[in-house]
Structures are given as C-alpha cells and as structure tokens.
Homo-oligomer: A and B are copies of this chain.
Amino acid sequence: QEEALIFELDNPGAIGVDLDEPVTAATRLGGLSPRAGVGLPSLAEPDVVRHYTRLSQKNFAIDTTLYPLGSCTMKHNPRLNEKVARLPGFSDIHPMQPVETVQGALELIDQLAHWLKTLTGMPAVAMSPGAGAHGELCGLMAIHAALEARGESRRRRVLVPESAHGTNPATAAFCGFTVDTIPTEDNGRVSVEAVKAKLGDDVACIMLTNPNTCGLFEPQIREIADAVHAAGGYFYCDGANYNAIVGRVRPADLGVDAMHINLHKTFSTPHGGGGPGSGPVVLSDALAPFAPLPFVVHGKDGFTLVEHARDAGEARPFGRLKGFHGQMGMFVRALAYMLSHGADGLRQVSSDAVLNANYVLASLKDVMSASFEGPCMHEALFDDRFLKGTGVTPLDFAKAMIDEGYHPMTMYFPLVVHGALLIEPTETESKRTLDLFIGTMRHLAAKARAGDQTHFQASPRLTPRKRLDETQAARKPVLRWTRPAA
C-alpha cells in the first residue's frame, strides 16, 4: 500500500485533539485582524498514528539492521537513555526558570562536563553547541577570539587536510578564515612535513580529524601539534571519530587545543534521522577563557548559570552560540551512557569498535580492495579497485546490499581515495552479525567479479521505491506539497 502525504489525507472537520472553549471571547490583538485560515490538513488521531507508523516502516535503522555507515557511527542507542531523558525533572523544566529551581539540571551539566574533561584530559568544555558542526564553529570562534586577544587578527589562514569532513572548510569559511588544503600522503596520513610547509605567521590553526576520515590514527599528530604551536597557531581536532579512542587516548596528550565531541556518535544519543545532535567542545587552557555563554559555575550557594559577560569574571566569552543553554535532552542521555559504561566500559567501547572494524577489514581484504595497508581504527576503508572492469559502481554495489537487508556503508567519502567504501560496524555489533555481513559482502563481491552487472544495476528491488531520480529533484526542485488545481 502506498502512503499518501498527510496533506492528501485532509478530511475537513476531523480533528486529532479535543480542546476546550476559550475562557473568554475577548481579544487584545493590538489592532491586528485574526488570521482567516492556515491551510493545514485535518485528521483524527487514528489516521495520524497509522500514517506515521507506516512511514516509519519504510526506514532502515540501527534497531532493525547493521547500519555500517562509516564516519556516522551508528551504534546501539540504549533505551534507558530515552527513559531518563523523559523524567519530568529534565524534560519539563524551562531554561529561564530561576536557577534555584533547576539545581539538579545544572549539576547534571556539571557532571557531564566533568566526564568530558576527564576523558579528554582537557581543562574546560563549552557545552552549548547544537551539533558537531556547531562545535567546530565554537572551536574556531574561540581561536578567533584568542587570536584577537593576542592582537594577531592577521592570522586568517586555516590548514585543512584534503581528507577532512566538508564541515571543516565550511566552518573555517563561516568564521571568515581562508582555507588552505594540506595534501594527504599515499598512506592516508598527514605528514608533519606537509604541515610545516604550510605554516606561517598568518596561520590561525590547523583542523585535523583524528582518527582521520580514512579510519587511521595520525601517527605524527603530536609532532604536527608541536609544529603548529611553535608557529603560533592552534590545533583544532575534529572529534567526530573520538569514539575510536575514547577511554584509551586523551586528546590533551596529543596537543589538542579544541575538539568537539559528537554526543550522538561517541556517546550514543540517537541520530533520529538527522538530529538533534549535541557538540560540546573541550578546550585547552589557552582557549578556555573564550568559551561562549552561558556556562555553569559552582559557587557557595550551589550552581549558577553565567549568562552575561559582565558576570563572567576573568573569562572573556566570545559570545553566545545558541538560544539557550545547549542540548539538555542529549546531555541526559550521554551521561546515562557514560555512567552505564564507566571508565572501564568506555575503554572497552573503543577497543571493541576497533576490533570489529579490523575484523571486517581482515575478512574482506582478499575480495575487496583495502585502501591502505595495516590495521585501521574504528572503520575500514575500501575503494573501487575491486570493481574495476565489472561495470559495477560503488553505488550499484551499495544498492545491492540493501536487498540483502543491510544499510550501505558510506560511499565516495573520504575524497582522497577513488570510489571510497567506508565501513564502520561499531562496538555494538556481535561477531555473529559481522560474520553474516562478511558472508554477504563476499558473496556480492564474487557476484560482481562473475560479471552479473545487471543484478547490481537493478538493485534495490525489494524496497518500497527503486532508485530515485536525484537529477530531476535538483533540476526543478519540488520542496513542498501544493494543493492540486481543482
């Protein structure tokens, strides 16, 4: 059965809520006339519930299948976290309530900050960024502010490796910096020499992802950090892949000045089809004074919230990034996850994530082309050399995985290898699941080699929709439903 759009299910007169009559008919609209009508569809609750239930069934999700989307970290989302995030004491409190009525909430933020600082070894953390990219913005603004405070606003150049996430250059540009690309070495790493070649007194910072987007730990990271620091720049670390090292390596020990942490990756708050995320940024001593407003401090009368620069003491906050205090709902979930795992469990998390990725790598490298030698970190990078001459593209290969019941891996990223296929199983997949997945991948690779091109090109077959025409979508964008002419 097809599922119509909610607007097409409109049945004027039906309603999905029962509301009382207003207590008075009087209005005080300051001279404005009430709106004549809105244009929304009308449905009763049963039809709304069924509509969205049926829509949900058209999705793959981590709850239903392996979802090895490299760099996106689709790990199990514990249900306890959803339960505690819904405690009225967290979900039903207003950001502008008097602080004496939200002491538990402020303490929770403080506890989460303590975990993040202790795990990373960093002295400070900015909690308000709304997602990873927002955290990058926070980090670069802190760097911007620190440079201004040093009277070095001439430093406008930001070094970004070519393997970086698109958010890195976009963020740098968003902050008014110019982006200078560092080439990636043949081994998928950034070399300290390549960085040194770019350094100069106009360099604000380097933005480096570690482990990098090829799923590799940057072995020269400390040397790079030292070189950047020596040149007067800062080291921004993209923490999207922090899940590979949490509990085993502290970013502070690598010379990091700022790093965002995607709570929805490393600490398992749900992705929810594209958010909400949460991207706290840990900061070094050099950058800590510039952390944005608001922030929580603990005083003699309990916790307080510093919302204005005038109350910030010696700190020099660079401003405000978000409407209120950050993604509280995600904080609760992340803290529940951390408490559940503990220091011992979090170390096991990264160990198992790396083990699972290497198991996939080792089990597939004879039939798929691994892009780099040696072990990987939390994700295994392949490229399309194994498909050469088969007429099967990475996209075709990915679509064929769908019919086998798996969500495809990340494709065509990172850009530094041709036809990238980036597999991140995460630590929450069992060996049994991986063995089944490996079996399927080997089967598909063999099928491709055997010349069954049409199988791949006609995939997926078993989904509610076959391949969608993205070109048409972009050429004449239809971005909303409009009522058909009568």
Interface residues of A (CB under 8 A from B): 1, 9, 11, 14, 18, 44-47, 49-50, 53-54, 57, 62-65, 76, 78-79, 340, 404-405, 428-433
Contacts and interface: CB of A to CB of B under 8 A. Distances in A.
B63 A53 contact: yes
Contact of A428 (B1, B46, B57, B79): B46
A67 to B, nearest CB: 11
A187 to B, nearest CB: 34
A395 to B, nearest CB: 22
A18 B62 CA distance: 22
Given A57-B64, A430-B14, A46 B76 contact: yes
Contacts of A50: 62-65
Q: Which 8 pairs, one residue from A and one from B, show the smallest C-beta to C-beta distance?
A: A46-B76, A1-B405, A46-B428, A53-B63, A47-B430, A53-B64, A54-B64, A50-B63
Contacts of A65: 1, 50, 54
A9 B47 CA distance: 37
A53 B79 CA distance: 13
B63 A432 contact: no
A401 to B, nearest CB: 12
Contacts of A76: 45-46, 49
Contacts of A428: 44, 46
Given A18-B340, A49-B79, 4 more contacts: A46-B428, A53-B63, A54-B64, A54-B65
Contact of A432 (B11, B49, B430, B431): B11
A430 B44 contact: yes
A44 B432 CA distance: 12
Contact of A49 (B11, B49, B63): B63
30 contacts: A1-B65, A1-B404, A1-B405, A9-B432, A11-B431, A11-B432, A14-B430, A44-B428, A44-B430, A45-B76, A45-B78, A46-B76, A46-B428, A46-B429, A46-B430, A47-B430, A47-B433, A49-B63, A49-B76, A49-B79, A50-B62, A50-B63, A50-B64, A50-B65, A53-B63, A53-B64, A54-B64, A54-B65, A57-B57, A57-B64
A359 to B, nearest CB: 15
Contacts of A340: 18
Contacts of A79: 49
A64 B45 CA distance: 13
Contacts of A64: 50, 53-54, 57
Residue of A14, A46, A63, A430 with most chain B CB atoms under a 10 A cut-off: A46
A92 B62 CA distance: 31
Contacts of A63: 49-50, 53
A76 B405 CA distance: 31
Nearest to A75: B46
A432 B428 CA distance: 43
Contacts of A9: 432
A382 B63 CA distance: 42
Contacts of A433: 47
Given A53-B63, A64-B53, A340-B18, A11 B430 contact: yes
Contacts of A49: 63, 76, 79
A194 B450 CA distance: 76
A271 to B, nearest CB: 15
A433 B428 CA distance: 41
A425 to B, nearest CB: 12
Nearest to A47: B430
Contacts of A57: 57, 64
Nearest to A340: B18
A365 to B, nearest CB: 25
Contacts of A46: 76, 428-430
A61 to B, nearest CB: 8
Residue of A44, A49, A65 with most chain B CB atoms under a 10 A cut-off: A49
A443 to B, nearest CB: 13
Contacts of A62: 50
Nearest to A61: B53
A444 B429 CA distance: 45
Nearest to A79: B49
Contacts of A432: 9, 11
